[in-house]
Chains A and B, each alone.
Chain A
Amino acid sequence: MQKGLVMTGNIRLQELAVNESGFVFDPHTGLTYTANETARYVIEQLKAGSNIENIVEGVKAEFDADGRDVYRHVLEFIHNLQEQGLSSLEAPGE
């Protein structure tokens, strides 16, 4: 099995509408959100099926995150998506 995130059954995330300015709309609930640029990047990567290692590398390449704990931030972000019911992605476990 692929190390990292499992993409099965992740319809909610696929259907999230994200616009250029970070306005996010969930058609299932009608709820709206604001995503910052990094979050938009991570959501796009998740939709495309990237695993966490690749996402973290991608963030570091796109953004000036020197000295920042990007791995922790991305993990926390994924948990946050789960808590909001927007994703059934599993973070990598044992």
Chain B
Amino acid sequence: MSRKPYEKPMLVKHQLGMLNKYGSVPSVEPMLSIDGVAVAELLEKYGSPLFVFSEQSIVDKTEELNEAFKLRYPKTTVAWSYKTNYLDAVCKVFHREGSWAEVVSEFEYDKAIHNGVPGSRIIFNGPLKPADALEKAFRNKSIVNLDNFDELQTAEEVAEKIGEDVSIGIRVNLGTSATPPWGRFGFNLDNGQARDAVRRLLAGGKLSLNGLHCHLGTFIQQPEAYQEQTAKLSHFANWLREEHSIILDYIDVGGGIASCNTLHTQYLPGSQTTPPLSRFAEAVSSGLSELTCQPDDYPTLFLETGRALIDDAGYILTSVIANKRLPDGQRSVVIDAGVNILFTAFWYKHEIVPAQAVSGTPEQAIIHGPLCMNIDVIRPSLLFPPVEVGDKLVIKSVGAYNVTQWMQFITYRPAVVMISTSGDDAIIRRAEDLSTITDMEEVPGWLQD
């Protein structure tokens, strides 16, 4: 007699929202390949866990953003936000697709130069720009947005030293009805500080003003916020022209557009709640229609969109290392990818799917990482099919901020691979090993044998 296929015995309570109209539990679709390359093959070749980036996804999203904005405001330029993901290969895809570089430190500035970006296509933001970094940026004719009065003074000193005409932009902050105030960076526009900054700059006579920058915040799901922002920036630009005869080269609206991830506080998935890029483009162009300048004088619109462009391009491939029952009866699935490489697990309900066919009834589970640390939780709760030790999983939409904010903590950071638009795979960052860490260290003479 032939025996039936075995599945671990499972009884799963029906919960509201779990049943569809046929009374069955929704199935989890496995993800067997990424851009045509088998997940199992990638793990075999490069080890587990593994970051994978899809070049095609970056190309598609960049095109979508450019099209959405240029249709409504032709003078649009996208600058890749380095802090969101500054792996060279990733940056090079963005630059090849026409994006400039947006950097917030001297390190990022140097990395953009290293990636072949001409200095005149680098936007230099951030609260720390030491004098020699400013000097480099001014000589390279980069776009520099100043953050505060002290930096304004440093910039004047540097401009005087190099004896060239130097143009700068100022960063401003402002309130909108949809975003919490981000008053930490730049000059406040609502209380008149930004006007004072302009008066002070003109009084100094050493710099000229050529642009405005404003980054509202991050993971913004309300296009209206951008409409209010750009309307306020437009009114300010009108005032600059009328009062001071200043015609701006650019208005930089920063980044902040939400990706399709789902926040822990959200009930509906992000794919349903994040508006399409076209709605943000609509909002920005509507705000910019408040500009009263001559058609030839319309400023360039810079976008510094980060997470919305790269989140979906990134995956973590990971393996199940244990199944556990916790003392309170909860099911725990332990995987080999932890919060040290996926810090966005603290923000998002990352979608996790098996990389092989699954059978069996899904059951509520906690997904734990491999760190000996209580907070190493990748998903506090999700309905997940039965998995066995050694099974492979795919964690989706991890492309933003993880490979820049990851930590070398407890264990090594894994390799990062890119899949090209033609379906080839290649390492873009090697896995760490013991020497990666010990090469940085010194043991003083008195501790050597």
Contacts and interface: CB of A to CB of B under 8 A. Distances in A.
A36 B25 CA distance: 12
Interface in B371-395: none
Contact of B10 (A31, A36, A70, A79): A36
Nearest to B386: A36
A42 interface: yes
Contact of B6 (A32, A33, A38, A86): A38
Nearest to B8: A73
Contacts of B329: 79-80, 83
Contacts of A43: 11
A57 to B, nearest CB: 13
A60 to B, nearest CB: 8
B11 A65 contact: no
Contacts of B116: none
A62 interface: yes
A25 to B, nearest CB: 10
A76 interface: yes
Nearest to A26: B13
Interface in A56-87: 59, 61-65, 68, 70, 73-74, 76-77, 79-81, 83-84, 86
A37 interface: yes
Contact of B14 (A33, A36, A41): A33
A33 B375 CA distance: 31
A31 B18 CA distance: 13
Interface string B1-26: 00111111111111000000001110
Contacts of B361: 22, 34-36
Q: Is the contact region of chain A dominated by helix, strand, or loop, or is it mixed?
A: helix
B9 A42 contact: yes
Nearest to B14: A32
Nearest to A63: B6
B4 A64 contact: yes
A6 interface: no
Of the four ranges (under 10, 10 to 19, 20 to 34, 35 or more), the interface on chain B belongs to: 10 to 19
Nearest to A68: B6
A73 B8 CA distance: 6
B360 interface: yes
Interface residues of A, number: 33
A7 interface: no
Given A34-B361, A79-B325, A64 B10 contact: no
Contact of A36 (B7, B13, B23, B24): B7
B3 A33 contact: no
Nearest to A67: B6
Given A76-B325, A79-B325, A83-B329, A34 B4 contact: no
A39 interface: yes
Given A33-B14, A34-B25, A64 B6 contact: yes
A9 to B, nearest CB: 20
Contacts of A84: 11, 13
A85 B13 CA distance: 12
A91 interface: no
Given A22-B361, A36-B10, A41-B9, 7 more contacts: A33-B11, A34-B14, A38-B6, A39-B11, A64-B6, A65-B6, A80-B11
Interface of A: 22-24, 31-39, 41-43, 59, 61-65, 68, 70, 73-74, 76-77, 79-81, 83-84, 86
22 contacts: A23-B23, A34-B24, A35-B11, A36-B9, A36-B360, A37-B4, A37-B7, A38-B8, A39-B11, A42-B9, A43-B11, A62-B4, A63-B4, A63-B6, A64-B3, A64-B4, A64-B5, A73-B8, A77-B8, A77-B9, A77-B10, A86-B11
**3 closest cross-chain pairs (CB), A and B:** A65-B6, A39-B9, A63-B6
